[in-house]
Chain A
Amino acid sequence: MCTGIVETAEVSGSGKGPQGWFKLEQVNVSYDHPSDAQLAHALNIDFVNPKEGPGARVAVELNPASARKLVDAILTALSRGEASTKQPTLSTVR
């Protein structure tokens, strides 16, 4: 079925589409029929910039297990990255 399940968030960053890099403004995360992945339903992520038209889109379609791995990988990388780039406090310098 077409679930109509979609979650939307404002994001800031850059994405690379068919026309090159563009500013990202929004991400749409849906659980619905994919366009290409050979699945009945997929976790679809569209990074978009609505101001630049529908072609300003970076799309991925993942099976649920892959989507969960992606979530874990993002959280792990974020956690490690933020820890490694944390500004040293006065006490740790001493």
Chain B
Amino acid sequence: MDPARGRRGFFKPCKLQALAMHQYTTDMYEGMVAETVMLQGYGGDFINAYFARPLGPGPFPGVVVIHHMPGWGELYREMTRKFAHHGYLALSPNIYYRFCHGSPEDVAAKVRGSGGVADDSVIGDAEGSLRLLKSLPISNKKVGVFGTCSSGRQAFLAACRLKGFDAAVDCWGGRIVLSKEELTPNQPVSPIEYTKDLSCPLLGLFGEEDQNPTPQHVQLLEHELKKYGKMYEFHMYPKAGHGFFYYDRPAYRQEAAVDGWKKLFVFFEKYLRAPS
């Protein structure tokens, strides 16, 4: 009998415990479940969400993975599973659920043509996701929030407007610094105005060549974070612009992406997995 396995062929609990530390070795049991679930979001509405979680007893930290403007598509499915692979309960709510159903691209086009999704709606869905993750018996009761581009902005907003997140990651979130002329009914407040309410440590990953947020926008946000004594960690990558994680887009920058993911997981490990 394989000494690593128990009598019924499953790996022993000690191996599962090691899984919880997410340091995979080749002799270790590994598995995850990824599926669509329902959760109660903004206004008490039920919406669907993609939930990927490692198998094993846990307890595991959680991450709310807010999808970006181009939609609740394959890229965000992959990212959600990546978090699960690293030992997180990863929940990606479909923030476009109320608009319609169809291919992710068609739904995103519908939302774009409708003027986008309202900030309040996204915050409500993020709150429902946070609540669900914390309620799970396999949760360690620590939850982070992650987003890129429009959802980097929304991750920052959620970390400011909600209590309960333990860490937030904003990847090149644009439109955090808005002039009065840029405000809309869906985005009625410039997110930087909420900085004083930021309730958890923030990691920001940005590209020096980005047009929004520009390095000047990032400096403005950093100034506010310092002013209010917030915990943050910003990294500005040279020769990178907007969306440098997206391996299927011309904006992909391999070196920045690899380093960015490493920094992201070090950050989440520190604030979501380490004992308080």
Contact = CB atoms under 8 A, between A and B. Distances in A.
Given A1-B174, A4-B175, A55-B103, A26 B69 contact: no
A4 B184 contact: yes
**Residue with the highest number of chain B CB atoms closer than 10 Å, among A1, A26, A33, A55:** A1
B266 interface: no
Contact of A40 (B101, B113, B115, B242): B242
B110 A54 contact: yes
Interface residues of B, number: 36
Given A46-B112, A48-B109, A57-B109, 8 more contacts: A1-B213, A1-B242, A4-B184, A26-B113, A28-B109, A35-B70, A35-B109, A55-B102
A1 B210 CA distance: 8
Interface of A: 1-4, 6, 8, 26, 28, 30, 32-33, 35, 38-40, 44, 46, 48, 50, 53-55, 57, 59
B201 interface: no
Contacts of B106: 54-55, 57
Interface string B234-252: 0000000111000001110
A1 B214 CA distance: 10
Contacts of A4: 115-116, 175, 184, 187
Interface of B: 68-71, 99-103, 105-110, 112-113, 115-116, 149-150, 172, 174-175, 184, 187, 210-213, 241-243, 249-251
Contact of B109 (A2, A39, A59): A59
A35 B212 CA distance: 19
B113 A1 contact: no
B251 A46 contact: no
A1 B212 contact: yes
Contacts of B115: 4, 6
Contacts of B99: 54
Given A28-B109, A46-B113, A2 B150 contact: yes
Q: Which 6 A-B pairs have the closest CB atoms?
A: A1-B174, A1-B212, A28-B113, A54-B102, A54-B106, A2-B69
17 contacts: A1-B212, A2-B150, A2-B174, A4-B184, A6-B115, A8-B113, A28-B109, A30-B113, A35-B71, A35-B105, A46-B112, A46-B113, A50-B110, A54-B103, A54-B110, A55-B103, A57-B109
A39 to B, nearest CB: 7
A48 B71 CA distance: 18
Contacts of A28: 109, 112-113
B241 A40 contact: yes
A35 B108 CA distance: 9
Nearest to A3: B212
**Residue with the highest number of chain B CB atoms closer than 10 Å, among A33, A50, A59:** A33
A50 B181 CA distance: 29
B68 A2 contact: yes
**Residue with the highest number of chain B CB atoms closer than 10 Å, among A30, A38, A55:** A55
**Residue with the highest number of chain B CB atoms closer than 10 Å, among A38, A50, A57:** A57
